[in-house]
Structure 1
Amino acid sequence: MSAGKPRLTGDLSLTSVVLFGLAYISPGIVVTTFGVIAATSGGAAPTAYAVATVAILLTGLSYAKMARVVPGAGSVYSYARAMLGRRIGFLAGWAMLLDYFFIPMVGWLIQATYCEAQFPAVPRWVWLVLVVALTTGVNAFGMKLADRVNKVLMTVAIGSLALFAVLCVVYLGHHDTGPVTGAVWNSQSSVGAITAAAAVAAYSFLGFDAISTLGEETKDSTKTVSRGVIACVVAAGAIFLVLSFILQLVHPGGRFADEDAAAFAIKIMVGGRTYADIVNFISVAGGVASCIALQASTARLMYVMGRDGVLPRRVFGRLSPKLGTPVTGLLLTAAAGVIAMGLDLATATSFINFGAFLGFTLVNVSVVAWSIRERKEGRRHNLFTFIVLPLAGAAVSGYLLSRLGGTALVIGLVWLALGILYLAVLTRGFRRPPPELSAVGREPVPAPEDPPRTTAAA
């Protein structure tokens, strides 16, 4: 990129990127999904979350490794492109677009639904338009403003979770709910039930990888992004474990009158109806922080792919001259969010999981491919760390992919087929390679199809 053109700038600290990842994940999801996880695991929700944390951490380690090898803002798109080839990289980016493009829509729908439940006199579409406009406006003015807003909202959200945990502990101090060990393993638990619940619980971590899209906007990005990914997974896992353990003590077993509404029932039990209503409103603050992170990641992925010519460069590959942000991507995701007012959450959510778990699988495979390339060039790395763990991460991600429902798999496969057709057009029947990746301010890592470069060309 030539001098004078707007570019992404590196100002974010490790704390900022970790909070960004946590906002994307939305830690409060452990509360809203507790009933489902507890019911599936036979009343051993924290054990299911422990298994899920270890499983996701395997992929987190692979993201951390790739962030050091392939710095930039493209996430799995950049990693797969550099290690597995340009065409696979394109399809990885295409698959992740399905996840990234529609996941803000899901976040906005959730917040609009919460607001409508709190204020039923105001239609959901009004809340949807308001929250879309708010997050788009914040993101349009750059990551500095988004970072400040995100820190404030995440502080409120985490404080709300901490208060809820305290009320649960106070409740436990006045009520005998049975042995503590029952929350970890009991007569209704089994290995099959725990692993099935862990597969569901793993969805709670979706979004930690969004940190890898901020490679060009962080201080000392090579170290910051890799450390941020691991710190985010560990922090989220710790929050999920602690809260699910406390909730499982408050409500032993896995039987509920309504699994989906279990969290609200527990809030009423430990704090009363007024408290439950207040917390429901406060949770919207954390949700808005999540939506800011969701939309920012999506716009940056589309910007990188547009900058490379994978998506139309004139539309996607430019930053706003005044704001220095990918406004086109922000407006497109905002438009998708407004269109979503005609969808329900179940349908919207089914759009996103295919791309996420396919992307996780490819990141793990990319680490293995990089290690093999290094060995061929005489540089050897720890076999367990760079081969065994990534293969385990790929196997886990593949398993989670296979656990998706029929609708999600059909949507994902159709989207992937459209990507192959677009790639065929882009490469004129696969006769030429896709456009070359060129990270801002950095020398790209050659993809396997790249011809050897001379010193002058490099």
Structure 2
Amino acid sequence: MSQRSQTRLPRSMGVVGLTLFGISYMAIGTVFTTYGIVNQLTQGHLVASYVVALIVMLFTASSYAAMVRRYPVAGSAYTYSQQSFGGGVGFLTGWVLMLDYLFIPMINFLILGLYANAQFPSVPAWAFTLGAIIVALVLNLLGISIVSRVNTAVVLVSFAAVVVFAFFAIKMAVGDPDAPGVFDPFLPGSDMFNPVLTGAAVLSLSFLGFDAVSTLSEEAKRPRRDTPIAIMVTTIVGGLLFVVTAWVGALAYHLDDWSKAPQALLDAAGSVLFSHVGGDVLGVVFVYITVVGTLGAGLAGQAAVSRILFSMGRDGVLPRPLGTLSKRFGTPIVATILVSAFALVGLFITLAQAAFMISFGALVAFAMVNLSVIRTYLFPSPAKREPLTAGRVVRFGVMPAIGFLLTVWLLTSLEGTTWIVGGIWVLVGVAILAIKTKLFRRPVPTLDFSEVEPTTAAIDQLPRDTLFERRP
């Protein structure tokens, strides 16, 4: 086996597999995980926050689709910003993005442990959490095809749960004279607009599925065609499911003062809501569905972040062992094991703290991808410059610029503590970069796409298995 093939991930996924992976990563059930937190932040305007988040994410997803057509490899925002603005910016973008990617699997495993412990109190929650981490580790080491099949089952189960919940919630709302109007959950009112923005910023973590899809570009059969389609479908379908689920929940379960919401609703909203609309039996069923859903989301999250670490290790900006693939299964073995070990940190933080930190990392990365589109397509090097047309300016200039401004708008809505912790994380990244570059006297390693970087018109004519070299 050549050195080149040893650092290439096997291509095995089509549009359906990529989309199901993204939706599984988004974890439809996450609407219940953040239900109490965001409703408390917005005084019951969760639906409005989801609508705002979806609008912002559609612009950013469009930017991801544009960048993955140009650079169809593992690495996501890290690769895109690296190729657009240089190795240093790319590393820091990947480093910040890693903040939310490392938190997501651990939070899912932690939630799984808590829900399972509620049904089997004699078994400590940490035992369930540890078991889930081990199961996800084994499945991810065996290969992305197995992960894809598991994700398909998880999406089907989660979708069925949402349909059942929607049925019972609408049935209850129809017979409730105190239920809000059909459109009331969508209307925040002028005095609640800033809280709605804060809620949308937190909910941005729910849309990381389209970013996760981009991390599998090297494993897509036709990355320049399949991955962009999967990114957009994941965003639209996942976002609409979030909005609809939050909407029917608002019709069936409403409080006058969310600041006085019961703690059970804030910690385990799904179980409370299902029991409210369907009785205790449905509440118990939801617990089991949540266990399945969080395992699938944790599995997908672990797969995504391990590929970012793999990409950064392969480039040499992180320790090179991270860029090692299993000779038998073709999976990033060292990176996957490291992510599993880091997931144990989730036992020491609260859900609210993790939610804000995940959103910080995601929004910074989203902002950089929007800027990368403008830099790559409108201001490339003279040798790669193409004629500017009105359509090109709108697609690669106006749309990502709107996405960037909306993303920054959400970033400013995050709590001050989040900025402090996020800033410390960035400083740690700068320190690592300084060490790797001998106090910035050496260039940051990057991937060389010079042999295969096509014009827009020629992108779809390239062979799907084109190889990429790392610059010496």
Residue in structure 1 matched with residue 213 of structure 2 by the alignment: 211
- 3-state secondary structure, aligned to 1:216: helix
- Aligned CA distance change for structure 1 residues 309 and 188 (closer, same or farther; 3 Å): closer
Residue in structure 1 matched with residue 332 of structure 2 by the alignment: 326
Contact conserved, 2:80 with 2:90, CA < 8 A, in 1?
yes
Residue in structure 2 matched with residue 308 of structure 1 by the alignment: 315
CA–CA distance in structure 1, aligned partners of residues 425 and 253 of structure 2: 41
Residue in structure 2 matched with residue 450 of structure 1 by the alignment: none
1:90 aligned partner, one-letter code: F
- Is 1:335 matched with 2:337? no
Kindly state the Cα deviation for residue 59 of structure 1 after the two structures are TM-superposed.
Answer: 0.8
- Is 1:73 matched with 2:74? yes
Residue in structure 1 matched with residue 290 of structure 2 by the alignment: 283
Kindly state the Cα deviation for residue 198 of structure 1 after the two structures are TM-superposed.
Answer: 2.8
Gapped regions of structure 1 (runs ≥ 5): 446-456
Matched ranges for 1:255-404 at <5 A: 255-256=257-258, 257-258=261-262, 260=266, 262-313=269-320, 315-374=321-380, 377-381=385-389, 382-404=392-414
Contact conserved, 1:59 with 1:363, CA < 8 A, in 2?
yes
Residue in structure 2 matched with residue 223 of structure 1 by the alignment: 225
Kindly state the Cα deviation for residue 419 of structure 1 after the two structures are TM-superposed.
Answer: 1.7
- Is 1:144 matched with 2:154? no
- Aligned CA distance change for structure 1 residues 308 and 246 (closer, same or farther; 3 Å): same
Kindly state the Cα deviation for residue 271 of structure 1 after the two structures are TM-superposed.
Answer: 0.6
Q: Which stretch of the first structure deviates more once superposed, 132-141 or 161-170? A: 161-170
- Aligned CA distance change for structure 1 residues 238 and 331 (closer, same or farther; 3 Å): same
CA–CA distance in structure 2, aligned partners of residues 335 and 190 of structure 1: 41
- Is 1:435 matched with 2:427? no
- Aligned CA distance change for structure 1 residues 265 and 303 (closer, same or farther; 3 Å): closer
Kindly state the Cα deviation for residue 170 of structure 1 after the two structures are TM-superposed.
Answer: 2.4
Kindly state the Cα deviation for residue 444 of structure 1 after the two structures are TM-superposed.
Answer: 6.3
CA–CA distance in structure 1, aligned partners of residues 97 and 29 of structure 2: 24
Kindly state the Cα deviation for residue 203 of structure 1 after the two structures are TM-superposed.
Answer: 3.3
- 3-state secondary structure, aligned to 2:13: coil
Residue in structure 2 matched with residue 241 of structure 1 by the alignment: 243
2:51 aligned partner, one-letter code: A
Q: Which stretch of the first structure deviates more once superposed, 175-184 or 17-26? A: 175-184
- Aligned CA distance change for structure 1 residues 157 and 337 (closer, same or farther; 3 Å): same
Instruction: Give TM-score, length-normalised by structure 2.
Output: 0.87
1:380 aligned partner, one-letter code: L
Kindly state the Cα deviation for residue 38 of structure 1 after the two structures are TM-superposed.
Answer: 4.0
Matched ranges for 1:412-423 at <5 A: 412-423=422-433
CA–CA distance in structure 1, aligned partners of residues 425 and 6 of structure 2: 34
- Aligned CA distance change for structure 1 residues 269 and 421 (closer, same or farther; 3 Å): closer
Alpha-carbon displacement from aligned partner over 1:51-103 (angstroms, at most 9, x marks no partner)? 21101111111111111111111101110011111211121122222222332
Residue in structure 2 matched with residue 5 of structure 1 by the alignment: 6
1:120 aligned partner, one-letter code: P
Q: Which stretch of the first structure deviates more once superposed, 127-136 or 113-122? A: 113-122
CA–CA distance in structure 2, aligned partners of residues 403 and 45 of structure 1: 15
1:411 aligned partner, one-letter code: V
Contact conserved, 1:76 with 1:93, CA < 8 A, in 2?
yes
CA–CA distance in structure 1, aligned partners of residues 146 and 379 of structure 2: 41
1:330 aligned partner, one-letter code: T
Gapped regions of structure 2 (runs ≥ 5): 455-470
Alpha-carbon displacement from aligned partner over 1:271-304 (angstroms, at most 9, x marks no partner)? 1012112212211101111011000011111111
Kindly state the Cα deviation for residue 355 of structure 1 after the two structures are TM-superposed.
Answer: 2.1
Kindly state the Cα deviation for residue 190 of structure 1 after the two structures are TM-superposed.
Answer: 4.4
Identity of aligned residues (%): 32
- Aligned CA distance change for structure 1 residues 66 and 172 (closer, same or farther; 3 Å): same
2:107 aligned partner, one-letter code: V
Instruction: Give TM-score, length-normalised by structure 1.
Output: 0.89
Residue in structure 1 matched with residue 468 of structure 2 by the alignment: none
2:399 aligned partner, one-letter code: L
CA–CA distance in structure 2, aligned partners of residues 223 and 164 of structure 1: 35
Kindly state the Cα deviation for residue 206 of structure 1 after the two structures are TM-superposed.
Answer: 3.1
Contact conserved, 2:110 with 2:346, CA < 8 A, in 1?
yes
Alpha-carbon displacement from aligned partner over 1:108-132 (angstroms, at most 9, x marks no partner)? 1121122122222111111111000
Matched ranges for 1:36-51 at <5 A: 36-51=37-52
Alpha-carbon displacement from aligned partner over 1:139-190 (angstroms, at most 9, x marks no partner)? 0100011111111122111111111111112223433325323333377974
Residue in structure 2 matched with residue 199 of structure 1 by the alignment: 201
CA–CA distance in structure 1, aligned partners of residues 380 and 448 of structure 2: 22
- 3-state secondary structure, aligned to 1:180: coil
2:434 aligned partner, one-letter code: A
Kindly state the Cα deviation for residue 211 of structure 1 after the two structures are TM-superposed.
Answer: 0.8
